[in-house]
Amino acid sequence: MAISIGNVTLHMGPKSLGAPDDLEAAIVKFIDDAQKTLDVAVQELEQATIADALIRARNRGVKVRVVLEGDYLLNDKPSTKPYQATGKKEPNRELFLALLRANIDTRTDYNPNIFHQKFIVRDRDGGKRGLLTGSTNFTPTGVGKSMGGHGNNLNHLVEIKSARVLKQYALEFDEIWDGTFGAVRNRHETKPGEYTVSKVRVKPLFAPDHSPEMEIMKQMLKAKKRIDFAIFTFSQSSGIDDTMIALCKAGLPVRGIFDSGMARDWSGYPTVKKAGGDLYVARGAGLNKLHHKLMVIDGQVIIVGSFNYTGPANLLNDENIVIIGDLEETDTQAKANQRELAKYALKEINRMITKFGKKI
């Protein structure tokens, strides 16, 4: 079962890999609860049950808008028979066309780099107002529903019910919808906002505008006890690498697991290991990818979202992260709330290391 602390809910999945939560069910229910609007910004849409939920919403009068990464709708090489439905990306194209046929306003992104968002803004003007974000792509592997031995991906989702947080994501979606973001942004960006939701601090940031890497480094440098992480990939992210090395050398425990297929891309991990980092790669039966972008600091603060710890993610891609909690919090109930959320995330990191981790 997902953990809910007031208006903040955290899901860890998928169940098919031993995690506690059904990510597909969480996404479908979130969509099915919409009463007025749905603004969907997601890299991939390949899971038919999620597309069906969007179509159901449109059919009951909900205004639905969708933005997808255009690269997943194109062939790597031009087809000699473009009217023939073939290729590994065909499920993306089929669902894209299904949304258009259902009269859902659907666009592809304008960013020449990677459109890597995974969020939904629901009922921005009231009704069942809510935000859904995390590391999960809306694909069979993303939600743990793949068939035919293709494996599943480890992921998370977070739901937040807050008008002020929702407004920040709604503004971001409007920028994406209008094409004024990434390399072609032409408006002044407001600084990241910090909000209190169910006595827990929530701070969303968007890349490339807010340079999330700097915020992650800042949160890490506040740590007094330990840092635990589960991350798909590191690459060209020297700031986070250097922060890990400095903390390890100062005697702070740093432990993490990352996807084994991405180990070759993280040139800094031998240095982190040499400095004292406790590092693991994820391997195991049924596992396709460890796809989390998840960090827990001092068992009290969690960092979630779509942001991989890479240079391109920080400077070029469209991404988001959410800092949940505050290491400087003094309110007793607030500290208890954020520790409960962090405990749930940390329990899943521990489970992944135990079940899938190979020490390096």
Residue 148 confidence (pLDDT): 57
Say which range, 32-41, 64-73, 246-255, has the weakest mean pLDDT: 64-73
Element (H, E) at 150: none
Report the alpha-carbon distance of residue 179 to residue 195 in Å, rounded: 27
What DSSP designation does 45 have?
B
Structure tokens at 170: 């709604």
Query: What mean pLDDT is predicted for residues 156-167?
Result: 97
Helix 238-249 vs helix 212-221: crossing angle, to nearest 10: 10
134 touches 205 (CB < 8 A) = no
Proportion of the chain above pLDDT 70, given as a percent: 89
175 touches 207 (CB < 8 A) = no
Q: Quick check: 73 pLDDT over 70? A: no
Report the alpha-carbon distance of residue 11 to residue 28 in Å, rounded: 13
**Structural domains for the chain:** 3-184 (3.30.870.10), 195-359 (3.30.870.10)
319 touches 294 (CB < 8 A) = no
Report the alpha-carbon distance of residue 183 to residue 181 in Å, rounded: 6
Residue 150 confidence (pLDDT): 55
User: Could you tell me which residue, 71 or 204, shows the higher pLDDT?
Assistant: 204
Element (H, E) at 37: strand 37-42
Structure tokens at 41: 């910004």
What residues pair up with 24 in beta bridges, in sequence order?
none
Q: Quick check: 161 pLDDT over 70? A: yes
> Per-residue pLDDT tens for 6-47?
999 999 999 999 999 999 999 999 999 999 999 999 988 999
pLDDT band at 351 (very low <50, low <70, confident <90, very high): very high
Residue 82 confidence (pLDDT): 66
Report the alpha-carbon distance of residue 145 to residue 262 in Å, rounded: 23
Within its chain, how far is the Cα of 12 from the centroid? 12
Contacts (Cβ under 8 Å, ≥6 apart) of 42: 66, 67, 68, 117, 118, 119, 120, 137, 138
Q: Quick check: 184 pLDDT over 60? A: no
Residue 93 confidence (pLDDT): 82
Question: CA 326, 328, 332, 335 torsion: positive or negative?
Answer: positive
